[in-house]
Amino acid sequence: MAGKDNNIYSQLGVSSKKEEVHDAIKSLDKGLFPGAFCKIVEDAAGRHDYCSIFHADGAGTKSSLAYMYYKETGDLTVFKGVVRDAIVMNIDDMLCVGATGDFFLSNNLGRNGKRISGEIISTIIGEYDAYCKKLSSLGLNVVMCGGETADVGDLIKTLILDASVFTTMKREDVIDASNIKKNDVIVGLASNGKASYEEEYNSGIGSNGLTLARHGTISHEYFKKYPECYDNSLDEKIIFFGKNKLIDPINEIGLTVGKALLSPTRTFSPVLVEVLKSYRREINGIIHDTGGGQTKILNYGKGIRYVKNNLFQVPKIFEIIQRSSETQWKEMFQVFNMGHRMEIICKEHTAKEIIKIAKKYNIESKIIGQCEKAHSKSGNELEILSEHGRFNYN
């Protein structure tokens, strides 16, 4: 089976570590707070005690899966989900540096007009506006500022959804992850379940690793049916090599395989806004486990050994992906969030208060690990002790 290799993700043309990207930007200015989760620059208005953040992200290849599911079922609502992915991937990143003020969002949509109809475009644009209003109702004011819809059928076979977000904040309020210290604990906020502000059960998938999730989970029967949904230069044996149909039910969580893979990325904004209001000065770092999954934290802090030894039970969707693709568990933790997608690093007494706040929103949270001094002098280290084995990364 293709999935027995250790580097299926790279075979599919994706890097969880993004080495080439990091190499390309290594000589660029890192901003005012080089250790922060997002790049922070001088205030756009020239105020010396403020700073600005301009961020861009998107739903990735999840939009291609939404297209397939729509073609199979006629369910337009899946496009609303990928819009939320594009928004949350920006907003929750920016929350990691402590930004909670007014956010100004512009959407970016590229489509193949022969496949993506006006009805789909209307659904997508409407959801950008509706979800910005939803976030504002949850305590995080997001202003929709329009956007760009480009017909680029020569470049894109289905569609791609991105967003760009701008905000400003006081420099003294910045959460700088370079402040992470040994003896800090790591609080994890669960990615799955049904938060008080969500309409349906969330599988926890988020928006990372969808190339592996799509190809490793769904059946090869879709290979001939949707040639527009994969890179034709790939070896056929790693294109849709999984064991499931999109409409197969997952009885334990009440979703189909397709809907579980398309669960919108959960925003933790209501929790983080409340946490930052009360405990901002006691937080040393906030990490959004996006690209790199559980190993994302390696990019932050200095000389820290992160030990994650009290993880959440792996959500059902990741078990299905692993079993279907036969991806090694070590790679699974390097690609997916595996049960929690937000980490708050602080002292234990603060962690207990954060857990209480998360509970108010029906989000499971707990101390999932701690910070120690790294054994080597070459950088950060990570040890994961899970139900599926012990894994080390650096």
**Alpha-carbon gap, residue 194 to 281, rounded angstroms:** 30
Amino acid code (one letter) for 253? I
Position 18 scores a pLDDT of 58
Position 16 scores a pLDDT of 53
Q: Which strand (E) or helix (H) includes residue 373?
A: strand 365-373
Nearest Cα neighbor of 189 from 293, 288, 100 is 288
Torsion of CA 255, 260, 262, 266, to 10 degrees: 100
Q: Which strand (E) or helix (H) includes residue 165?
A: strand 159-170
Position 37 scores a pLDDT of 97
Q: Which domains does the chain have, with CATH numbers?
A: 2-393 (3.90.650.10)
Count of beta carbons in the 10 Å neighbourhood of residue 316: 17
Position 376 scores a pLDDT of 85
Position 319 scores a pLDDT of 98
Q: How many CA atoms lie within 13 A of 228 on its CB side?
A: 21
Q: Across the 394 residues of the chain, what is the mean pLDDT of every consecutive 10-residue run?
A: 56 65 70 97 97 97 97 97 98 98 96 97 97 97 96 96 98 98 98 98 96 96 97 94 98 97 98 98 98 96 97 98 96 97 98 98 98 92 97 96
Please name the residues in contact with 45: beta carbons below 8 A apart, sequence gap of 6 or more. Answer: 168
What would the two tokens of residue 35 be? 């250790």
Name the pTM for this structure: 0.94
**Alpha-carbon gap, residue 332 to 313, rounded angstroms:** 14
Position 25 scores a pLDDT of 65
Nearest Cα neighbor of 164 from 54, 266, 83 is 54
Q: Count each helix (H run) and each strand (E run) in the chain, helices first.
A: 12, 14
The SS3 call for residue 390 is strand
Angle of the 77-95 helix axis to the 62-73 helix axis, nearest 10: 160
